[in-house]
Chain A
Amino acid sequence: MNKQLLLGAEAIALGALDGGISGVYAYPGTPSTEITEYIQKNSADREQPVRSAWSANEKTACEAALGMSYSGKRALVCMKHVGLNVAADAFINSAITGVNGGLVVAVADDPSMHSSQNEQDSRVYGKFAMVPVLEPASQQELYDATRDAFDLSESVGLPVLLRLTTRLAHSRAGVEGREVRPQNPLNAIYAPERFVLMPHNARRQYNKLLGVQEQLEKLSEHSWLNRLIPGAGKTGVLAFGIAFNYVMEVREAYGLDCPVLKVGHYPLPRKQIEALFNTCDTVLVAEEGYPVYEELLRGFFGGKNIRGRLDGTLPRAGELNTDNLANALGIAKKEGMAIPAIVVNRPPELCKGCGHRDLYEALNSVMSKQKEHHVFSDIGCYTLGALAPFSAIHTCVDMGASITMAKGAADAGLRPAVAVIGDSTFTHSGMTGLLDAINDRSPLTVIIADNDTTAMTGGQNSSANGSRLLAICRGLGVEEAHIKTIIPLKSHLAENIAVLTEEIEWEGVSVVIAERECIETAARKKRKPASNA
């Protein structure tokens, strides 16, 4: 077969399609979005249909995938690392019920926080749920491991966590596919003793999960994702995931002879690790993410012969790269030129002509006349309103937190309490917070910046917009008279200021929907394929 040039994220998608999935469930999030997008664009010509529309959030995605697995079919769930916080309840408990059809949870972590609010390491969740974790090191490995993950999931009866990081997700390389495996037939099982997690069942299932751990460790010992690159040096390297790539880059460039144990399949392959420690005086532990296993291997009293992120041999935070691995292996850095002093930062910004600009212009004008001008906001393109020239928002914590934080602030007595949230983030996790505010009569104004898309991740369909958002707010119990729609355009500025002022000054729950299509998605719809050079 020919090699195709694929992003790591796309290699997972192709592996899942060829591995016989019947559905993918996901909410967009950098760097995981392209997995689902690839399946959406490349499954039409498959013999059997694959469902692939976006879910409202990661939890609904994970649960739907578990339902597909319950029915005997293979399902893939994809999310970014913080999405797993949202899906955690479903994910952890799917390890207690176990699966029927293969269930793979692909989670893309973002060390160095290129496009995220933290750099949490999803391997911790894998360990927490006590399920197998695969962490491939190349695009080809991602393809092969994704296929294998479904077989593994079915053979051990557990979900499998497939962990990747930004560099692999967003890097292209040639990938060779294999034959297509047909989808599983519909085969729903009556197994209430597994799936009804009342305490008596849950205790038995949990013991079963504990009992299978030894088998999982044995499987790791023989996994092709774990292998030793032999060497004669007395310093060995234990390289997890893509840390392996940087170690090998240094090893080849400088002709080092250190033994390298590559680990890409967890739980830890105990015997292989013991062998490495027995033959080396010192072991450098290189992990892309938190020093999860370095900490475990050091133990409470600290292993004297272990180097890594915890003793400063590698940086404690941020991505690894060839340079910091070279430094850790005692090689002096090649000094390049310095960045000239005249080079200033170029932060991202709201697009020219974006409706959010006009919304923030109006909001800033309204808030400047208030005694307190705190604006609680959320995650999306409109987060860029935190930067100059607007500096319009003062919080951005997690999906949906704008409404609930504004509610808490209102409860504390802050007036006015204002939240700005996007359409997609509102349906992801904002609706329930709004219900809390209504039930509690917390006076706040929620501005839904409705651009009809999930814009920051590249313009995926939102779960609801326009008239459906109105209906949702009405249904949740917002008073009809205090649900307003404005059009964020320069020509509407005076009118928008008037509406916002009125609602912000009203002592009750109000919603202002600022409705204007994202200029990027609008342009994409208009663009004829032939005119784009």
Chain B
Amino acid sequence: MQINIILAGVGGQGILTIAAVIDLAALNSGLTVRQAEVHGMSQRGGAVQSHLRISDREIYSDLIAEGTANLILSVEPLEALRYLPFLASNGKVVTSTDPFINMEGYPAMEAIQSELHRTNNPVLVNAAELAREAGNARTSNMVMLGAAAPFTAIAPEKLESAIEELFGKKGPDIVAMNIRAFRIGQELSQPQATAS
């Protein structure tokens, strides 16, 4: 078993929190993890990405080769497109549809949607709205993780315990809210996960 995940977003959006949950869940499932992230200049509102690799064997490379990512999990729709060369032919795109516009020439949402639909049955998530439903707009990353969960090859219970472990220090209310957000995301992609 080997799963390659590209996490994408804009510096400051918190993709590393998503990575931390998956890392911990994978490690607690007895799997090997390598996860390369971007620090430094790009974190100031630039395009950021993280290569996350999970396997039951040794992993050599920290980076994912082109055409071999099983999943692109993006918290911003345009950023999902930036990493398409990495997507495997049967790979999945799970992305938030909330645009983050901090530069000139941001394309029209319809154009982004149509490019996204050229991938294999993408999961498009109105993350901010669903996060508010869960109780706080700041849980949108956990909504995204929930939506991507079926494609990570990690049991959802393991992901939930990792959320508990990571957010535990912040108190039971914060944990409950993030779990709620995770489950809302999961429900959203469940039909597609069983279909594919």
Q: Which residues of A contact B (CB under 8 A)?
A: 3, 5, 30-31, 33-34, 114-115, 167-168, 170-174, 242, 244-246, 248-249, 252-253, 321-323, 326, 333-340, 342-351, 381, 384, 388, 456-458, 529-533
Q: Which residues in B have their C-beta under 8 angstroms from that of A252? A: 60
How distant is A261 from chain B, measured CB to nearest CB, in Å?
16
Q: Which residues in B have their C-beta under 8 angstroms from that of A248? A: 60-61
Q: Which residues in B have their C-beta under 8 angstroms from that of A172? A: 23, 33-37
A350 to B43, CA, bound (A): 10
Q: Which residues in B have their C-beta under 8 angstroms from that of A322? A: 61, 63-65
A172 to B27, CA, bound (A): 11
Query: B78: CB under 8 A from chain A?
Result: yes
How many residues in B have their beta carbons less than 8 Å from beta carbons of A? 62
Q: Are B40 and A114 in contact (CB under 8 A)?
A: yes
Q: Are B67 and A348 in contact (CB under 8 A)?
A: no
Residue of B nearest to A532 (CB): B170
Q: Are B81 and A344 in contact (CB under 8 A)?
A: no
Residue of A nearest to B36 (CB): A171
A384 to B102, CA, bound (A): 14
A80 to B104, CA, bound (A): 33
Given contacts A347-B46, A533-B177, contact A321 B33 (CB under 8 A): no
How distant is A356 from chain B, measured CB to nearest CB, in Å?
11
12 contacts between A and B (CB under 8 A): A114-B40, A173-B34, A323-B66, A335-B67, A337-B118, A345-B47, A347-B103, A348-B46, A349-B46, A350-B44, A529-B169, A533-B177
The A/B interface has a contact count, at CB < 8 Å, of 170
Q: Are B61 and A5 in contact (CB under 8 A)?
A: no
Partner of A342, one of B34, B103, B111: B111
How distant is A173 from chain B, measured CB to nearest CB, in Å?
5
Query: B10: CB under 8 A from chain A?
Result: yes
Query: What 7 A-B pairs have minimum CB-CB distances, sorted nearest first?
Result: A115-B40, A334-B67, A348-B46, A30-B40, A336-B67, A171-B36, A171-B62
Query: B187: CB under 8 A from chain A?
Result: no
Q: Of B84-92, B121-129, B147-155, B188-196, which stretch is located at the interface?
A: B84-92
A457 to B44, CA, bound (A): 10
A388 to B105, CA, bound (A): 13
Residue of B nearest to A34 (CB): B39
Known: A336-B88, A384-B41, A533-B138. 7 other contacts (CB 8 A): A167-B63, A171-B36, A173-B59, A249-B60, A348-B45, A458-B39, A530-B174
Query: B42: CB under 8 A from chain A?
Result: yes
Q: Are A334 and B66 in contact (CB under 8 A)?
A: yes
Q: Which of B38, B43, B66 has the most CB of A within 10 A?
A: B66
Partner of A336, one of B27, B86, B136: B86
A326 to B60, CA, bound (A): 14
Given contacts A245-B62, A322-B61, A345-B103, contact A171 B34 (CB under 8 A): yes
A339 to B167, CA, bound (A): 36
Q: Are A339 and B82 in contact (CB under 8 A)?
A: yes
Query: B68: CB under 8 A from chain A?
Result: yes
A173 to B171, CA, bound (A): 28
Q: Which residues in B have their C-beta under 8 angstroms from that of A336? A: 66-67, 84-88
A428 to B73, CA, bound (A): 40
Q: Which residues in B have their C-beta under 8 angstroms from that of A245? A: 60-62
Q: Are A171 and B67 in contact (CB under 8 A)?
A: no
Residue of B nearest to A337 (CB): B84
Q: Are A114 and B103 in contact (CB under 8 A)?
A: no
Q: Which residues in A have their C-beta under 8 angstroms from that of B105? A: 344
Q: Are A170 and B38 in contact (CB under 8 A)?
A: yes
